[in-house]
Amino acid sequence: MRESFLHQGCIYGSDAEFLAMAVPFVQDGQRRGEPVLVATTRPNQELLREVIGRETEGVEYADDGHLGHRPPQHATAVHRYWSRHQDAGAVRVLAEPEWTGRSGREIEAFNRMEAALNIVLADTQIWMICPYDTRVVEAEVLEDVRRTHPECVVGSRAEPSSQFMAPEEFARSRSSPQAQGIAADLFRFEGELAAVRRYVLNTATALLRSDEDAVGMFGIAVGEAITYLARQGVDRAAVWVRPAAGRVVCTLHSDTPLDHVNPFVGYRLPGVIEQPGEGLWLTNQICEWLDVTSDASGCTIELAMPAEAADDLRRAENSRLSFGS
């Protein structure tokens, strides 16, 4: 039985190359009694079903939406799948998102998630292969596959990736401190969390088009972000909520630097947090993006939700129900 997480990338350029990897991976899992989650594109699921059969014991199919629309939801759903099946001793996951229509920021978020999985899932017995189709995925993304996966697989053969980077190093190479915007309506947080929550709710209500669920969730996310800062000794910050490119964005900035910023803060599930002050898991689940940066000039947290947020919240809830513990 595997004693730790095994994370492999697979770069393929044809249906035959995908099947050369996927078929033995799934069938070997069946022989060993290891549950297999196939979360690939629908065309690839159909290809696999045609070869191994449609009614296959121990194999569960899920499209990209069931794993969550965003990377933190994706990581959480995979962990919950393992939790649900860990009595089997080990599980296997084919994880391939749908790349069509994703923005540059969304693609970068998935790359960061791939690096984060090496830490977040390190204590699981998951064997995960992440397929990347050269007919769809940009060359820059393919380069990052080799940086975020310790091994790359071709067919049933796996080799160490010579370009692999330590997850923290990869994250640092992709992040830079966020400059605080200039605004006349900055709200000053001076230790009173309730006052920040009132400001956020009052401002967000108009911006989120009276979607009460979205307003409430946004308030929870900002509240958790303030709590995260307070637990690390930050008791004063400027808070700014504004519309930007179809989103509602909240920036929190303090002149006080943080002693340490975990580059993957918000990825660890409640109950498996190992370091004080990590937190932000719920914020990462709720928001479209979450950035935490710190340098000598201070620290900044920026989070955002779509102005039309209800559908995304429902997707997150459906993911939780489908792969819940």
Q: Is residue 177 a part of any domain in this protein?
A: no
Cα–Cα–Cα angle for 86, 87, 91, nearest 5°? Answer: 40
Give the structural domain span for 46: 6-172
Residues near 50 by beta carbon (within 8 Å), at least 6 away in sequence: none
For residue range 219-278, list pLDDT tens digits in order. 889 888 988 888 888 888 888 888 887 888 999 999 999 988 888 888 876 655 445 446
At 269, the amino acid letter reads: L
Same domain (yes/no): 241, 206: yes
Reduce the secondary structure of 123-145 to three states and give it as a string.
CCCEEEEEEEECCCCCHHHHHHH
| 2 pLDDT tier (thresholds 50, 70, 90) | low
Q: Is residue 201 a part of any domain in this protein?
A: yes
Same domain (yes/no): 194, 285: yes
For residue range 153-197, list pLDDT tens digits in order. 998 899 999 999 999 999 888 765 454 454 556 778 777 777 887
Average pLDDT of every residue of the chain? 83
At 316 the pLDDT is: 46
At 317 the pLDDT is: 44
Question: How many domains in the chain?
Answer: 2
Q: Is residue 223 a part of any domain in this protein?
A: yes
According to DSSP, residue 278 is labeled -
Domain boundary among 138, 172, 206: 172
Strands 6-12, 126-133: pairing kind = parallel
Q: Is residue 231 a part of any domain in this protein?
A: yes
Of 29, 34, 67, 32, the C-alpha closest to 48 is 29
List the structure tokens of 127: 């064997």
CA–CA dist 233, 256 (Å, integer): 9
